[in-house]
């Protein structure tokens, strides 16, 4: 790994006054398994979005801006390729727009 993902996330969150909580490796794995069972027939392959049972695709150059509207005040969880970062990070609800 060439850079420290945790350090980058926590540094960016602190500089932008965003509440981010690190989720342990164990809990990240449990959440991944839950998401996989619910949306991808239990696959263990990553990235999970490439193995969804029922996917809907939106191709629009501005689509990334819609993420905050879709999430609203719900929490967001940032997950990474486990070979890069085994933990995940929970972003407090309503703060996703600041990140994207």
1 domain-assigned? no
Per-residue pLDDT at 67:
81
82 domain-assigned? yes
Q: How many domains does the chain have?
A: 1
4 domain-assigned? no
9 domain-assigned? no
Rounded Cα–Cα distance for residues 55 and 100 (Å): 22
Rounded Cα–Cα distance for residues 90 and 76 (Å): 6
Per-residue pLDDT at 63:
84
35 domain-assigned? yes
Q: Is beta strand 76-78 parallel, antiparallel or unpaired with respect to 20-23? A: unpaired
33-44 pLDDT tens trace: 999 999 999 999
> Do the Cβ atoms of 78 and 100 come closer than 8 Å?
no
What is the extent of the structural domain holding 66? 18-99
Rounded Cα–Cα distance for residues 46 and 8 (Å): 22
74 domain-assigned? yes
Residues above pLDDT 70, as percent of the chain: 93
Q: Poorest-confidence range of 18-27, 42-51, 90-99? A: 90-99
13 domain-assigned? no
Asked if the model's pLDDT at residue 99 lies above 90, the reply is no
């Amino acid at each position: 790994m060439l850079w420290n993902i945790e350090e980058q996330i926590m540094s960016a969150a602190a500089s932008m006054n965003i509440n981010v909580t690190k989720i342990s490796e164990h809990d990240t794995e449990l959440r991944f398994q839950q998401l996989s069972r619910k949306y991808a027939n239990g696959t263990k392959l990553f990235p999970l979005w490439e193995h969804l049972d029922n996917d809907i695709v939106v191709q629009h150059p501005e689509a990334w801006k819609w993420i905050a509207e879709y999430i609203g005040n719900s929490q967001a969880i940032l997950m990474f390729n486990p070979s890069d970062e085994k933990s995940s990070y929970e972003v407090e609800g309503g703060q996703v727009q600041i990140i994207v």
